């Protein structure tokens, strides 16, 4: 695997949007990626930020950006996030007719390519596409809002994808997103996830950097 064994990615959805630069800097050195949730009020009911704000934030911190696009028409909008310097750009399979072509566009624009599957989307139809992706994001809630309860049954998709990736010798990050906290991260790591998004568990804590370190230790102990 390229990069760290375990990726901890705090989600800005639980941060103070008036102080995003400071919130990003608060986890520098403790987090691997900053998970930037982009929502368009169409693919999901919620609305967050777009390329202009992400570009400004990109200039304000050293942390690699993991952009999670919960938007319609990612073919039109996703490459802009790669061009503004995101490390990884993940779009939803449910919103894209040709995921492999978009993965190719993202890599050509300079980022890693990620495929996200929402709560009700099975993983089986996408297994054959995984060689074209760097990241597979398995939602462990229904996409749209932070602070929801983790759904353990969704880890079956992580197990299946990890088995498939191992059998095919794929270098694939499997990322889990939703309800990841001290009491759930071990199960996700045991299932085969190696990248962990945490919003409430990091930015709801008194010390976000310390919360990242604790999550990492728990994931590392479970992955062993
Ligand atoms: C929700 C977002 C998540 C969210 C996770 O659709 O994709 O990244 O911020 O929040 P928590 O960690 O609070 O479940
Ligand atoms: Zn997310």
What CATH number did the domain enclosing 205 receive?
Answer: 3.20.20.70
**1 occurs within a structural domain:** no
Query: What is the number of the ligand 1 atom nearest to the C-alpha of 179?
Result: 14
Residue 144 beta carbon below 6 angstroms from any ligand 1 atom: yes
Query: What is the number of the ligand 1 atom nearest to the C-alpha of 11?
Result: 9
CA–CA dist 19, 90 (Å, integer): 24
Percent of all residues in the chain with a pLDDT value above 70, rounded to a whole number: 99
> pLDDT category, 38, cuts 50, 70, 90?
very high
User: Is 105 an annotated catalytic residue?
Assistant: no
Residue 198 beta carbon below 6 angstroms from any ligand 1 atom: yes
Å from CA of 198 to ligand 1 middle:
7
Residue 89 beta carbon below 6 angstroms from any ligand 1 atom: no
Looking at residue 4, its pLDDT comes to 78
Segment 163-181 shows an average pLDDT of 97
Segment 29-54 shows an average pLDDT of 98
pTM of the model: 0.98
Looking at residue 2, its pLDDT comes to 54
Residue 212 lies in domain: 7-223
| pLDDT tens digits, one per residue of 92-144 | 999 999 999 999 999 999 999 999 999 999 999 999 999 999 999 999 999 99
Residue 146 beta carbon below 6 angstroms from any ligand 1 atom: yes
Pick left, alpha or beta for residue 85 (phi over 0 → left; psi -120 to 50 → alpha; otherwise beta). left
| pLDDT tens digits, one per residue of 5-20 | 999 999 999 999 999 9
User: Is 177 an annotated catalytic residue?
Assistant: yes
**2 occurs within a structural domain:** no
**207 occurs within a structural domain:** yes
Average pLDDT in the chain:
97
Q: Based on the structure, what is the number of domains in the chain?
A: 1
């Amino acid at each position: 695997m390229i990069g760290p064994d375990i990726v901890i990615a705090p989600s800005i959805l639980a941060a103070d949007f008036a102080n995003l630069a400071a919130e990003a800097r608060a986890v520098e050195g403790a987090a691997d990626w900053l998970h930037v949730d982009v929502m368009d009020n169409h693919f999901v009911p919620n609305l967050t930020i777009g390329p202009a704000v992400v570009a400004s934030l990109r200039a304000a911190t050293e942390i690699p950006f993991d952009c999670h696009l919960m938007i319609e028409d990612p073919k039109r909008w996703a490459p802009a996030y790669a061009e503004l310097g995101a490390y990884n750009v993940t779009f939803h399979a449910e919103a894209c007719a040709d995921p492999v072509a978009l993965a190719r566009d993202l890599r050509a624009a300079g980022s890693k390519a990620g495929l996200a599957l929402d709560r009700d989307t099975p993983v089986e139809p996408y297994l054959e596409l995984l060689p074209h992706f760097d990241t597979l994001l398995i939602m462990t809630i229904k996409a749209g809002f932070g602070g929801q309860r983790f759904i353990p049954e969704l880890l079956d998709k992580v197990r299946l994808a990890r088995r498939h990736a191992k059998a095919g010798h794929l270098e694939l990050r499997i990322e889990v997103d939703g309800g990841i906290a001290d009491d759930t991260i071990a199960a996700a790591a045991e299932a085969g996830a190696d990248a962990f998004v945490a919003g409430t568990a990091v930015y709801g804590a008194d010390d976000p950097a310390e919360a990242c370190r604790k999550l990492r230790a728990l994931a590392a102990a479970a992955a062993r």
